[in-house]
Amino acid sequence: MSDERPLALSADGLETYLRCPRRYEFARVHELADDEDDPPAERRLDLCRQAICDALRTGRTDADALETAALERFETLWSDRDERYHSFAQRRHERRVLEATIRAYVEAFGAEHAGGLAELRADAGDGELIGPHLPLSSTVRLPERETTVEVDAAVDYVVGGGSTLTGVRFVPTLAPLGVLRYRDEWEGDVAGLFADHFDADEETFEPGPVGALLETAVVLDGLRELRDRLGLGDRRCRYLSVPLADRSNTTVNWIRESVETSLDSVDLTDVFLDHHTYGMTLEHRNATVEERLADVVGRIVDERFEPGRQWEQISAHSCEDCAYTVCCQEYVSSEVAFDD
């Protein structure tokens, strides 16, 4: 990375760095194109994301009205979109799946979140509360270097609810969260997994969940910053992930040409929250994760992209789906290693 380029760190990138520092270098520093296009799931997600955010922006709080607004908006977006399918039937089907997703969203969260938005807006003045990709940023202090670095993250909108401020993020699926989906506290499994991931002597390699925890730290800090900036009092911040491209709950009735689906969600706040830190700060924080965040950010700032001792884990887990193995010095070295 050359000096003239501004330092742009994102929470997404941290996860890439956890998967493999070298991959981070290729993707984020050198910005090498990888072979993969956006997977279809991502593109579909964007359509739904946009439609839902636009519907929330209308300010309607009634579920039916919200659904109508979202579906209308979706219709426009869909007709502007050009994606090849092998048949019109397939295209119709894909559209029905997305519409079902939007309906499922409204059913599960719509009215509650629209209400929470309205409540917040009353306090927030002109501040922007709805994205898509509402930018947040967290200032990470790097004590050893006596400097700070901004790490960006985004949620799709924020809602209030009594004494809380919740950032909602649409994701394709919850699969990358791994075990975090099934746990509701930090102490125990999660803390162990987090520590083991960074221990090169342990076999544990969980960049997905660990990255999600780092991201949670960034998002919650970003939300606190937003809260203070908009003067929203002392609400506690929470972070919710909603999957919009997960088809495991989808059923198709070909006779009635209907599609139904339902949405799960994961609130990462509880699994992130460490009660000791909470006791000290009365904020939803986790000192362990935040320290580690600073450490990882520091490494990126220092351009430390050698996989080092973690290479064994990385090569076992990350190389398989990495588009950069083809030009990665570590990977090729391992292919032509002396004692192959």
Interface residue list for other proteins (CB under 8 A): 1-2, 5, 26, 29-35, 39-41, 44, 84-90, 92-94, 97, 247, 250-256, 308-309, 311-312, 315, 323-324, 326-327, 329-330, 332-340
Nearer to other proteins, 45 or 154 (CB): 45
Nearer to other proteins, 32 or 108 (CB): 32
Strands 266-267 and 147-161: unpaired
Nearer to other proteins, 163 or 253 (CB): 253
Cβ-based neighbours of 99, under 8 Å, separated by 6 or more:
71, 74, 259
Q: How far is the CB of 182 from other proteins (least distance, A)?
A: 11
Q: How far is the CB of 226 from other proteins (least distance, A)?
A: 33
Q: How far is the CB of 112 from other proteins (least distance, A)?
A: 21
Q: Are 132 and 49 in contact (CB under 8 A)?
A: yes
Q: How far is the CB of 100 from other proteins (least distance, A)?
A: 12
Nearer to other proteins, 32 or 118 (CB): 32
Residues 279-308: b if buried by 16+ CB within 10 A, e if exposed: eeeeebbbebbbebbbebbbebbeeebebe
Nearer to other proteins, 97 or 174 (CB): 97
Q: Nearest-CA neighbor of 151 among 59, 214, 93, 108?
A: 214
Q: How far apart are CA 180 and CA 3, in angstroms?
A: 38
Structure tokens at 17: 């760095």
Nearer to other proteins, 122 or 255 (CB): 255
Q: What SS3 string covers 168-221?
A: EEEECCCHHHHHHHHCCCCCCHHHHHHHHHCCCCCCCCCHHHHHHHHHHHHHHH
Q: Nearest-CA neighbor of 263 among 171, 143, 134, 125?
A: 171
| Amino acid, single-letter form, for residue 296 | V
Nearer to other proteins, 143 or 308 (CB): 308
Q: Where are the beta strands (DSSP E) in 9-161?
A: 9-10, 130-142, 147-161
In DSSP terms, which residues pair with 73 in a beta bridge? none
Q: How far is the CB of 184 from other proteins (least distance, A)?
A: 17
Nearer to other proteins, 122 or 337 (CB): 337
Q: How far is the CB of 30 from other proteins (least distance, A)?
A: 4
Question: Helices 88-105 and 63-79 sit at what angle, rounded to 10 degrees?
Answer: 150
Q: Compute φ and ψ for 37, nearest 5 degrees.
A: -80, 175
Cα torsion 20, 204, 219, 53: sign: positive
